[in-house]
Structure 1
Amino acid sequence: MSKLFLYALVAGFSVVAAPQIASARSTAGCEKIQSGKAEVLSSTIDPQPDVDKSSDADACPEKDRTVVQQPTGAAPVKLNTTGSGTILKKAVKGDILPQSEGSLHENLAFKYRVYRPETRNGDTMVLMHGSGQDETSLVPFASKIAPNATLIAVRGRVVQDGSTRWYRRLTPVSFDQQDIRSEAKAFAGFLKQVAQEYKFDPKRTTFLGYSNGANLINAVMMLYPDLVQQAVLLRSMPVLRESTEANLANARVLTVSGASDQLYAPYASALEDLLRSHGARVEARSIKSDHGLGKDDVRVVSEWLSGGATAQLKNN
């Protein structure tokens, strides 16, 4: 009887201890600051900024996560960008993607791929991915919202901490201003070359950027205002510290922020005010999402594109 009692006691201790060990593992990283983690919604895609790629982050109590305070006015914004895009392609799972021309083009300053749909309408869309992604990440999304447009998918050429980016960051909340300007200048030159090579019409071209890529687009608009006439900026914020004299009267912009994006949503109005103050026609939308992309983004952008924005540009 004493042996049976001992065996039962040991077995019972194992059953109780196992969940405690698992719980300890799940919250082991909670002592670390989760500076880039926004609440993950089940319907979102790629919700993790590149400052936090740990799968254990969701187990941390809410009180351990940092919260960025609401800025006052349209002050210069410094914020970390988004990371891993490995599941972004699931946004339009099951859809037929446009045919790529094949290999990665490396003949210009930035690497890029070209995708042409079977039925083309003369529109072009330039795609600029988020941190940790590549030129293919936004192709499924773009194919959903502009199925008849030629896609020029570009890859950022800065690699930092293993993540592909469009410019260097100094810390998760500050960016290398010289690098932003240098990469914006290089991208402006790239745009002129690729436009000449593929003969696309600037009036029928939309720039679609997500997070870090969207940030470079708005920087290019401020530094080279004649290059971008229509842009969709997803989860974006201004990153240039110094103001410019850019005249954006010919630019139409859609900004889409996530209401639950605790780090980025507070700065959405600063971007909108900045663009409007330089003459851009801005439609600002906030959707029920965090920093990740999802079906609501597809719906909002599709409605904006089909609602006359592109058509009006063509007629200007």
Structure 2
Amino acid sequence: MGKLYIYALIAGLSMIAAAHPANARNTADCDKLQSGKAEVLLNTVDPQPDVDKNGSADTCPQKGQALSQTPAKVAPVNIATTGSGSILKKAIKGDILPQSEGSLHEDLAFKYRIYRPEAQNGDTMVLLHGSGQDETSLVSFASKIAPNAVLLAVRGRVVQDGSNRWYRRLTPISFDQQDIRSEAKAFAEFLKQATREYKFDPNRTTFLGYSNGANLVNAVMMLYPDLVKQAVLLRSMPVLTGTVEANLANARVLTVSGASDQLYAPYAPALEDLLRSHGARVEARSIKSDHGLGKDDVKVVSEWLSGSATAQLKKN
């Protein structure tokens, strides 16, 4: 009986030891997926313009669900063994996101998040995502090109076919004109309120829009010309129909199209001509890319923003 008891005890302990690493591994995998949710995977962003894209279902447990009722003690972190060198390299490259103020804000017409870098320079960047994305989608991209700017990341409030959008579409290249105007009006009011609430400097605010979001930005520029002083329009096209009177003499715009973007690239010259015809200073760039974003976008936009910062310093 004594030997049988010892064998049973050893077998039980072995089963517990084998199960524990599996649980730890599953928890770590879920944490890794959730912590990377806000990062942009370059060359995979909104690959089909204005075509809805639903994300995969979240199979990880909610963060509030503890695996054990007994809180575990946190051991002191040994900096020498945490790979701090690689963390520093990631920070320099812009792969580490700026600090968020926390939960999603829902106090204004549009849902939004605020991200603040450790070293702020007084600039603000307003982020408008592509079709089927959310307010976190461009945060990693923006932190690379404007590491010292406060980021105001906004979510489009139109949901069509289960995807977040900035206005309703009829086809990939034709859109609900009444919806564009009503959402542009709501966004203009939202921006005025957010500017007052957070004391953003309109003269040091850049609008970064991608695809569907960039299209709303150019519509806002035409309908509310005094609102946008500087804009980066990635993979964009004109969406308003009819004649609109707008004086964009105070606006500076960068448009970046993908040479192999078969759906949107053909409309890039029309957008550039439209903005220029209303007085905007437009720099148009075409890069070797499709509709997705990549390293070339980071380089082109960063250089353009650097030129803007130099001009601002000379002006001051």
Q: Shorter-chain TM-score category?
A: 0.7 to 0.9
* Equivalent in the alignment of 1:129: 129
**Retained in 1: the 8 A contact 2:134–2:155?**
yes
* Equivalent in the alignment of 2:275: 275
Structure 2: unaligned runs, 5 residues or longer: 1-40, 57-91
Distance in 2 (alpha carbons) for counterparts of 1:94 and 1:281: 29
Distance in 1 (alpha carbons) for counterparts of 2:284 and 2:173: 23
Distance in 1 (alpha carbons) for counterparts of 2:312 and 2:187: 23
For the pair 1:157 / 2:157, whether they are aligned, the reply is: yes
**Retained in 2: the 8 A contact 1:133–1:163?**
yes
Distance in 1 (alpha carbons) for counterparts of 2:52 and 2:203: 31
The alignment's TM-score, normalised by the length of structure 2, stands at 0.72
Distance in 1 (alpha carbons) for counterparts of 2:143 and 2:52: 22
One-letter amino acid matched to 2:154: V
* Equivalent in the alignment of 2:209: 209
* Equivalent in the alignment of 1:191: 191
One-letter amino acid matched to 1:98: P
* Equivalent in the alignment of 1:81: 50
Please give the per-residue CA displacement for 1:76-132, whole angstroms capped at 9, x wherever unaligned: xxxx52544869xxxx99711100000000000000000000110000000000000
For the pair 1:113 / 2:82, whether they are aligned, the reply is: no
User: Cα–Cα, structure 1 residues 94 and 303, in superposed 2: closer, same or farther, change >3 Å?
Assistant: closer
Residue 192 of structure 1 aligns to a residue in which SS? Answer: helix
Distance in 2 (alpha carbons) for counterparts of 1:310 and 1:262: 33
Aligned length: 240
Which structure is higher in RCO with an 8 Å CA cutoff and minimum separation 6?
1
**Retained in 1: the 8 A contact 2:46–2:131?**
no
* Equivalent in the alignment of 1:251: 251
Distance in 2 (alpha carbons) for counterparts of 1:256 and 1:85: 25
User: Cα–Cα, structure 1 residues 287 and 83, in superposed 2: closer, same or farther, change >3 Å?
Assistant: farther
**Retained in 2: the 8 A contact 1:82–1:130?**
no
Distance in 2 (alpha carbons) for counterparts of 1:107 and 1:280: 33
User: Cα–Cα, structure 1 residues 82 and 229, in superposed 2: closer, same or farther, change >3 Å?
Assistant: farther
One-letter amino acid matched to 2:181: R
Please give the per-residue CA displacement for 1:250-285, whole angstroms capped at 9, x wherever unaligned: 000000000000111000000000000000000000
**Retained in 2: the 8 A contact 1:83–1:130?**
no
User: Cα–Cα, structure 1 residues 127 and 280, in superposed 2: closer, same or farther, change >3 Å?
Assistant: same
Distance in 2 (alpha carbons) for counterparts of 1:85 and 1:137: 13
One-letter amino acid matched to 2:250: N
One-letter amino acid matched to 2:229: Q
* Equivalent in the alignment of 2:226: 226
* Equivalent in the alignment of 2:311: 312
One-letter amino acid matched to 2:44: I
Distance in 2 (alpha carbons) for counterparts of 1:175 and 1:207: 22
CA RMSD of aligned residues (A): 2.1
* Equivalent in the alignment of 1:44: 43
Residue 200 of structure 1 aligns to a residue in which SS? Answer: coil
**Retained in 2: the 8 A contact 1:82–1:211?**
no
One-letter amino acid matched to 1:48: P
Please give the per-residue CA displacement for 1:11-31, whole angstroms capped at 9, x wherever unaligned: xxxxxxxxxxxxxxxxxxxxx
Structure 1: unaligned runs, 5 residues or longer: 1-41, 50-79
Residue 289 of structure 1 aligns to a residue in which SS? Answer: coil
Please give the per-residue CA displacement for 1:29-50, whole angstroms capped at 9, x wherever unaligned: xxxxxxxxxxxxx97232522x
* Equivalent in the alignment of 1:20: none
Distance in 1 (alpha carbons) for counterparts of 2:45 and 2:190: 28
Distance in 1 (alpha carbons) for counterparts of 2:55 and 2:302: 23
* Equivalent in the alignment of 1:236: 236
**Retained in 1: the 8 A contact 2:54–2:163?**
no
Residue 151 of structure 2 aligns to a residue in which SS? Answer: strand
The alignment's TM-score, normalised by the length of structure 1, stands at 0.72
Deviation at 1:310? 3.6
* Equivalent in the alignment of 1:102: 102
